[in-house]
Structure 1
Amino acid sequence: MKRIALWLLLLALLAAAAAYWLLSGRARDVTLVSARIGEAVELVYATGFVEAEHPVSVAARMTAPVRQVLAGEGDRIITGQPLILLDDEEQRHALQQARAQRRVAGQDERRILALYTRGWVTRAARDAAVAQADSARAAEASAAARLDQMVVRSGMNGIVLRRDVEPGDLAVPSRTLMTLGDPARIRITATVDERDVPRIHPGQPALMSSDAWPGRVLHGHVREVTPGGDPEQRAFRARIVTEDGSVLPLGLTLEVNIVTRRAIRALLVPTTAVESGHVWTVRDGRAHQHPVRTGTAGSRDIQILSGLSRDERVVKAPEGKLTEGMRVRVLR
């Protein structure tokens, strides 16, 4: 038993020595980069889409079946142009009846007025005839107005963005039949994660791109951030307008980067070089840890505010594998 225990102890010592040689005695390969001066930009990423500045929802004032649709998606329209015709048979009959009643009341009014001038009827009879004629004329005007409401008209100049109605559908005042907009007056609505909202303010620059135009960057700025968010998506909406007034297709999706911070002459190192508030340098073949204070962070570079000087070389990607004093080999 003592001999077996001695052999086990010897094997454990050999294993420990081998592990020490592998971890401490063997140099780890690293790549060094120099800290440089450049522009540090901090961005908030979002996705957005192009929409009309003031989209207009079209709905009927009356409940009635749709008889005819006069405009389709993409059609240009002007103010007052008929868009949808509703079934107006009942209203036309009502107008005819109101006109007939107005004619009768008008005849009675003229007859009573003629008799009143001769003193054959009382003032009360004259006043009643005049009031009845006025009421009949008002009823005719009201019936004509209801008939006109059976034609749904455009309230703006622009185009039909969306059509949600077909002949035979039942139009009700609460249902949107069409959506109109002016393509010359657009905005980009970007969905921003609620964690990033405190960093976004009106006036901040925005860089936008689309797969529709590879390599093209659109410039704009944040005009406003909606005060209410979407609790289900946990996001808010930022309204962005383009700087050059570019005319973009309505509904186009965009990749949006909002510039929240910018430093013009900043000391930069790759973001991969910073670990838990420190960087690694190499001296005499050994790794040494240096605490640093960081500032603006981008997708590739991060600003160093203190703890490092220009042109000082740091390990590009320590990846959590270095320890103080570890032997390293610098790759060329």
Structure 2
Amino acid sequence: MKRIALWLLPLALLAAAALWWLLDGRAREVMLAPVRMGDAVELVYATGFVEAEHPVAVAARLTAPVRQVLVDEGDPVRRGQPLILLDDGEQRHALQQARAQARVAAQDERRTLALFAKGWVTRAARDSAVAAADSARAAEQSAAARLDQMAVRSGMDGIVLRRDVEPGDLAVPSRTLMTLGDPARIRITATVDERDVPRIRPGQPALMSSDAWPGRVLRGHVREVTPGGDPEQRAFRARIVTSDAMALPLGLTLEVNIMTRHAARTLLVPAGAIENGHVWVVQEGRAHAKPVRTGIAGSDAVQIVSGLSRGEKVVARPEGKLTEDMRVRAAR
């Protein structure tokens, strides 16, 4: 009997080991991640471009063919500098005619005044001659002003940002011929999806980057959000200014991340660990759902407001495959 008992004991141990291996082999393997401390940041992504803070559209005051374009894109300009010359033949002829009429009126005025002084003409005749001379001089000044308007001039110190005119084009007051700007005074205009607009406020920090400078991060803040949006793009424009004065090429495209919320030293779990308001924890080889209250949700991590404590471990990616009390084992 003792020999049989001695044989039965190893067989029982072998059966228990086989049962353990069978159950453990059927257990779902899961990856565990610790609840850690860190900063939670909520970002709104947008694309933007650098532009002059106060771009100036240049247009002609009169309708006329373009005779000559004096500047090109990128050229510096000064206030009052001629940029475009329009065909002014008609205005020159009008000025010559106005000057001739003014000379005749001035001669009549002088002659009439001399005769009035001698008492040979009436006061009414004198007043009529003076009025005619004044009118002729005003017409001359008006013709000279119209001739001056045939030279389209710069209204500011800056550079030519864009040129949209060529000699021979017809300039009309409603058409923008050039755009001017001051490269020393810039802003970033970002296009923000209308769903994200309620979260954006003036003063929020903004982080910007460009493929032109790999690894470089530009810092700024939101100055304003335009009150009117684009119904076709379903987007609004946010104006961003850089924290430090810097020279950026006008027209440069930037990737913009606006920081709408920030929580320092808070509990974080992987973003994939949250399922329908709970996380999964493992106790004695089985999965259990644990309700949590979340805060800021990022692409990689989610803030835990309550329900967990630092050092606990959660299933990193349950992917909807776990059920309550399911047998699981941690991946090595």
TM > 0.5 fold call: yes
Letter of the 2:26 partner, please give it: R
- What is the DSSP-based 3-state SS (H/G/I as helix, E as strand, rest coil) of the residue aligned with 1:267? strand
Q: CA deviation at 1:24?
A: 10
- What is the aligned-residue identity percentage? 81
Q: CA deviation at 1:303?
A: 0.4
Contact 1:273 1:318 (8 Å CA) reproduced: yes
Per the alignment, residue 3 of structure 2 pairs with none
1:317 is the counterpart of 2:322? no
Letter of the 1:208 partner, please give it: M
CA 1:229–1:24: 2 relative to 1, 3 Å: farther
For structure 1, the 5+ residue unaligned runs are: 1-21
- What is the CA–CA distance in structure 2 between the aligned matches of 1:239 and 1:101, rounded to whole Å? 55
Per the alignment, residue 277 of structure 1 pairs with 277
Count of paired positions: 311
Q: CA deviation at 1:164?
A: 0.4
Q: Which runs of 4+ in 1 moved over 6 A?
A: 22-25
Q: CA deviation at 1:131?
A: 0.3
Q: CA deviation at 1:25?
A: 7.3
Pairwise mapping of residues 228-247 of structure 1 onto structure 2 (< 5 A)? 228-247=228-247
- What is the DSSP-based 3-state SS (H/G/I as helix, E as strand, rest coil) of the residue aligned with 2:73? coil
Per the alignment, residue 211 of structure 1 pairs with 211
**What's the Cα RMSD here?**
1.3
Pairwise mapping of residues 71-220 of structure 1 onto structure 2 (< 5 A)? 71-220=71-220
**CA shift digits 1:113-170 (9 cap, x unpaired):** 0111111111000000000000000000000000000000000011101000000101
- What is the CA–CA distance in structure 2 between the aligned matches of 1:240 and 1:298, rounded to whole Å? 23
**CA shift digits 1:187-210 (9 cap, x unpaired):** 111111111111000000000001
Per the alignment, residue 10 of structure 1 pairs with none
Contact 1:24 1:326 (8 Å CA) reproduced: no
TM-score (norm 2): 0.92
- What is the CA–CA distance in structure 1 between the aligned matches of 2:147 and 2:69, rounded to whole Å? 17
CA 1:50–1:247: 2 relative to 1, 3 Å: same
**CA shift digits 1:196-225 (9 cap, x unpaired):** 111000000000001010000000000001
- What is the DSSP-based 3-state SS (H/G/I as helix, E as strand, rest coil) of the residue aligned with 2:112? helix
Contact 1:25 1:327 (8 Å CA) reproduced: no
**CA shift digits 1:33-58 (9 cap, x unpaired):** 11111111000111111111011110
Contact 2:202 2:224 (8 Å CA) reproduced: yes
Contact 2:207 2:258 (8 Å CA) reproduced: yes
Q: CA deviation at 1:27?
A: 1.1
Letter of the 2:195 partner, please give it: R
Contact 2:65 2:171 (8 Å CA) reproduced: yes
- What is the CA–CA distance in structure 2 between the aligned matches of 1:245 and 1:278, rounded to whole Å? 47
Per the alignment, residue 29 of structure 2 pairs with 29
- What is the DSSP-based 3-state SS (H/G/I as helix, E as strand, rest coil) of the residue aligned with 1:44? strand
Letter of the 2:264 partner, please give it: I
Contact 2:24 2:329 (8 Å CA) reproduced: no
For structure 2, the 5+ residue unaligned runs are: 1-21
Pairwise mapping of residues 258-273 of structure 1 onto structure 2 (< 5 A)? 258-273=258-273
Q: CA deviation at 1:329?
A: 1.6
- What is the CA–CA distance in structure 1 between the aligned matches of 2:156 and 2:314, rounded to whole Å? 62
